[in-house]
């Protein structure tokens, strides 16, 4: 692979398929490609051109992925070389510093893929350690130089590579095992601060890269509605919402539920760590637990729903919306009059409008009006490129039930 960052081949688009890329969308699907002039190796720099030869952009080639080219530049002079990666990483880290988030005792996302013009690369800081997730083969090939830059810019105690979600990795033809890439691994859980609270994070085995950083500000926003209320935190994972509601939020009590034993152990440990004695943690399936709470005529003042992805593609959208309807309807039925529903969706294929329509259906079926109080997304260290709205996956709606 030449490292001068210059194209080794030209990828020619089918007629009428260039518009998204003139609009700086970075994903060129195989179905948009007419032919390839040259013989690029996977990970090589390629030029993208229209069928009649007009320059479109520069990107990295992957024959194993449906996402054939990822674009990183839209002019014919930028080299996709080590200097460019360094500049982009510097810009990404400078943004977090300007937000006051790049704190050695805290946790934040330092690099958010397309949102930072680094398609396929995610870097999270957990205290003194970095967790890197690579979802593009071309980024995997450049892992060493990226880690060199990260080491120089943030001097972490260690950098860990976390494999991409299994589905994603397969799509990209990536076979990356979790491993330590630089420095030392933490001996046990890593402890970080978030809005004045402390959380223990399992970097080796935790979900995502260890913690749901995207929900940081939503945990605080939701907790503002918790005062004096009985709270149900469904799909609690490591207890972020529960602990925030029980402490700063002043909830009367919190029931935190997750079907994973690892998650409930983390939630319990984090409740203890913050002296949140009003949190009860239970391992249960959400659908069953919602049904049994309803059968027992239980009522809550605040119900939080933060389920895993119900849909991975537009194809399963209807099934996903039905599942969202079901749990949200069950949550509304458990809410006392004037109660608060904090409901989230991290399925990128479920558009914000679809999600709100689903909630309208819930209000109609339940015969109880829902007032939207806040419609939120991910925290500011998860920037989204306006040219790649696929990055806008998280919805967090706070609503009041009549
Ligand atoms: N709110 C959490 C993140 C939740 S992630 C936070 O702020 O950190 C989604 C969680 O749902 C995961 O922990 C997963 O274990 C859990 N989960 C998945 N399927 C479930 C089910 N059927 N019932 C209960 N929990 C489930």
Tell me the three state secondary structure of residue 169.
Answer: helix
Alpha-carbon span 306 to 338, nearest angstrom:
21
Using the mean position of ligand 1's atoms as its centre, give its distance from the Cα of residue 133 in Å.
20
Q: Within 13 A of 167's CA, how many CA atoms are on the CB side? A: 4
Q: How far is CA 118 from CA 27, 170, 248, in A?
A: 12, 20, 36
- In the set 346, 375, 388, 396, the catalytic residue is 346
pLDDT higher at 298 or 138: 298
Of 130-134, 163-167, 234-238, 342-346, the range with the lowest mean pLDDT is: 163-167
Give the per-residue pLDDT at 169. Answer: 73
Mean pLDDT of 211-238: 97
What are the pLDDT digits (tens) for 89-104? 999 999 999 999 989 9
Asked if the domains at 9-73 and 82-183 fall in one CATH topology, the answer is: no
Whole-number Å distance between alpha carbons of 162 and 139: 13
Q: How far apart are CA 357 and CA 376, in angstroms?
A: 16
Active site residue 147: no
**What percent of the chain clears pLDDT 90, i.e. is strictly above it?**
90
CATH code for the part of the protein at 212-401: 3.40.50.150
Q: Is the CB of 282 under 6 A from ligand 1?
A: no
**Which amino acid residue places its CA nearest to atom 13 of ligand 1?**
237
Taking the C-alpha atoms of residue 95 and residue 102, their distance in angstroms, rounded to an integer, is: 9
345 Cβ partners below 8 Å, 6+ apart?
307, 310, 324, 355, 394, 395
If one looks up domain 9-73 in CATH, what number appears? 2.30.130.10
Q: What is the mean pLDDT of residues 386-400?
A: 96
Q: What is the reported pLDDT for 15?
A: 98
Radius of gyration of the chain from its Cα atoms, rounded to whole angstroms: 23
Cβ–ligand 1 contact at 206 (below 6 Å): no
The whole-model pTM stands at: 0.94
Does residue 265 have its Cβ closer than 6 Å to ligand 1? no
| CATH domain 82-183 topology | Transcription Regulator spoIIAA (3.30.750)
> How do the domains of the chain map onto residue ranges?
9-73, 82-183, 212-401
State pLDDT tens for residues 112-138: 999 999 999 999 999 999 999 999 998
């Amino acid at each position: 692979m030449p490292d001068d960052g210059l194209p080794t081949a030209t990828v020619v688009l089918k007629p009428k398929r260039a518009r998204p890329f003139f609009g700086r969308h970075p994903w060129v699907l195989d179905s948009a490609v007419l032919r390839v002039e040259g013989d690029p190796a996977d990970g090589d720099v390629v030029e993208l051109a229209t069928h009649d030869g007009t320059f479109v952009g520069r990107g990295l080639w992957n024959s194993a992925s449906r996402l054939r080219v990822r674009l990183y530049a839209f002019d014919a002079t930028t080299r996709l070389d080590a200097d460019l990666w360094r500049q982009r990483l510097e810009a990404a880290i400078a943004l977090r510093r300007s937000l006051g988030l790049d704190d050695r005792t805290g946790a934040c996302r330092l690099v958010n893929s397309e949102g930072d013009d680094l398609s396929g690369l995610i870097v999270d800081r957990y205290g003194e350690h970095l967790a890197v997730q690579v979802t593009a083969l071309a980024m995997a090939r450049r892992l060493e130089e990226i880690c060199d830059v990260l080491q120089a810019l943030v001097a972490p105690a260690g950098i860990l590579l976390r494999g991409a979600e299994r589905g994603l990795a397969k799509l990209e033809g990536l076979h990356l095992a979790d491993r330590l890439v630089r420095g030392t691994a933490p001996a046990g859980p890593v402890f970080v601060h978030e809005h004045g609270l402390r959380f223990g994070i399992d970097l080796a085995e935790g979900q995502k890269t260890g913690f749901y950083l995207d929900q940081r500000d939503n945990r605080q926003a939701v907790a503002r509605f918790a005062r004096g209320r009985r709270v149900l935190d469904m799909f609690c994972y490591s207890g972020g919402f529960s602990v925030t509601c029980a402490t700063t939020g002043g909830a009367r009590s919190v029931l935190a539920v997750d079907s994973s034993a690892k998650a409930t152990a983390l939630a319990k440990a984090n409740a203890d760590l913050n002296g949140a004695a009003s949190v009860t943690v239970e391992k249960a399936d959400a659908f069953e637990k919602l049904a049994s709470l309803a059968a027992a005529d239980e009522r809550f003042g605040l119900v939080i729903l933060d389920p895993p992805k119900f849909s991975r593609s537009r194809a399963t959208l209807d099934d996903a919306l039905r599942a969202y309807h079901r749990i949200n309807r069950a949550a509304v039925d458990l809410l006392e009059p004037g109660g608060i529903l904090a409901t989230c969706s991290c399925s990128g294929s479920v558009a914000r409008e679809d999600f709100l329509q689903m909630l309208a259906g819930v209000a109609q079926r339940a015969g109880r009006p829902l007032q939207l109080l806040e419609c939120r997304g991910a925290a500011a260290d998860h920037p989204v490129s306006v040219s790649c709205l696929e990055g806008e996956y998280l919805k967090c709606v706070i609503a009041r039930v009549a």
